[in-house]
Each structure stands twice: as C-alpha cells, then as structure tokens.
Homo-oligomer: A and B are copies of this chain.
C-alpha cells in the first residue's frame, strides 16, 4: 500500500501511460489526452464538462478516455491526481524534468545554469519595467494610430527583424495592407514607394541603430506618415521623428541585447490592433486559419505514425503500458501517410 507513497505518485504513472497509449488513441481521445498531458493538475479541480470545454472535446470523451485507460470513469481517474496534489504541491517542472532527464551532471553545467537563470530573470524584469515605463495608455494610443492607418509598414533589421516579422505575420491574419520591410534581394527601399500620410510605419530599432531602419523612418516622416517607434532610448535617432515612441529595456547578462521585451510589446500591439478591428478582424483570423488548414500547412494527428504492435515511441524506456490499456490492441488501423 504505502510502498509507492514516497517516490512516484500514481498520477505520474498515469501520465506516462497516457503518453505511451497516445499514438493508439482515436483523434478525439487524443485531443482530450493531449490537454490532460499538458495540464495534468487541471483535472484535480476541474469538472468533466469544464475540462472538456477547454480541450474542445465532448464531455463524454473525457469519460471514454478514463475508461480507455482502465478506470471506471472520470471520477476514479481524477482521484490519483487529487492525491498527488494533496500531499505535495511540487512544480509542474519536476515532472517534465524527471521524464526527460538523462542528464549526467557536469561541473561546467553550473555556470551555464546560472547564466540561464539570470538571463530569464532579467527578461522578466525587463518585461514589467518596459510596460510600466511605456504606460498602457500610450501603448493603446500607438495601437490606435496603427489600426487606423491605410497601410502599415513594418521595419526591423538584424536582431529586431524577428519582431517586425512577427507583427507582419500576425497582423496579416486579419488585415490587409501590411508591408514587411525585409531586404530580400536588396529590395529594401523599393517597398516604401507609394507611402502617403494615410499610412503608418512601425519601426523597431535599438542601438546600434541599423542604417536602413533609420533611413526608412526618415523617409516615412517626409511623407507625413504616422510613425510608431519601438526603441531603447530617448535620444535614439527615431525619437525626433515620431510622437509615438515606446521605450523598452534590453538589459541582459548575455552578450547580445535581449529582444524579449520588444517581442512582448510587439505582441501587445498586435493584440490591440486586432481588438480595434472588432468582430470582422476576429472572423478574418478564423478564416485565415481555416485556409491554412485546408491548404495542408499544418501537421495533424492523422499524420502521426501509428504503431500497430507494442512499441513505446517515447524512447528506450518501454515503461510498460498498464494491462488495462491492452484494450487498444484491436485498434490496429494504419492511416495513409
């Protein structure tokens, strides 16, 4: 009884079993299992229906999943998770680490580990500081300017190209007339043609300020376009060109500056532009996603290689599927790959 009290809670075993059985589950059951695997602790508190809703699954599917795992029903599946949570509120990370860790700890790893911790910690700090410094009002105003523009030109070079790309990509899901200023084939400046004062430019630039970004912004200023600049200093070359300047921090223990705060702000901008687009924007997103889906851009569960016989795909462990789960054996379907 109390043999397994210390080490491995029953819930852990269930989760590993779940992963083993996963490839043999039906699509709908997979979706349920997927959610359960990602958020194991939810099941302890959440009711079947709520959980099903969050996993985009019929309520009954949760029961079926539980039964497929050899339990009587949802309630008995939930019990172990409650127990596990009751005795020790350990971190979600512990589990992932346990599952994946085959680490032989090195001495050298210590310094690296500390670097990792410090970098992430400073990103955390930067995030809150940046938003606080900018002020959400100003942010909303900048987003409003962008949302109201005819076209939005997005500029970001080198390490800030990711931010520009992200904004362009995300906004293109619900909005036309997004222009990303990449330098593909040396056509950087060409894109600026046709810019008017009805347009807006969103520019990301940190020190050292890349020439292209600055010049593009200057050009936009002469055309009378509204400019929103995400930059790192009040005396950045962009500051004299715009009323909407969003200052973000970049401090990090690492050699390169951190782009995390920029991307966070970029995401907020996108969300606010989206919000100002109203219902039309939302349905545009849905439409875009659906289009991508029918286009086959996404990998689907149907593409997963199914293992007909016993074979743990998770690795060399072969932790042994619980015998109750043997009820999957008859489901030996192999889909077209």
Contact = CB atoms under 8 A, between A and B. Distances in A.
Interface of A: 1-3, 19, 22, 30, 33-34, 37-39, 41, 44-45, 54, 82, 84-93, 96-97, 99-103, 105-106, 108-109, 111-117, 119-121, 123-124, 127-141, 143, 158-159, 161-163, 165-166, 169-170, 184, 208-215, 218, 232-235, 237, 239-240, 242-243, 245, 247, 252, 254-256, 258-260, 263-264, 267-268, 270-272, 274-276, 282, 285, 289, 292-293, 296-299, 303-305, 313-315, 318, 320-321, 324-325, 327-328, 331-332, 334-335
A237 B96 CA distance: 16
Nearest to A50: B93
A139 B100 CA distance: 11
Given A85-B86, A92-B132, A259-B263, 9 more contacts: A34-B235, A38-B232, A116-B136, A116-B268, A166-B259, A209-B298, A210-B299, A239-B321, A240-B320
A191 B101 CA distance: 31
Q: How many monomers of this chain does the complex have?
A: 2
A119 B264 contact: yes
Contacts of A143: 112
Contacts of A99: 234
A300 B153 CA distance: 23
| Interface SS of chain A | helix
Contacts of A293: 208
Contacts of A213: 299
A41 to B, nearest CB: 5
Contacts of A45: 44-45, 82, 86
Contacts of A140: 106, 108-109, 112-113, 116
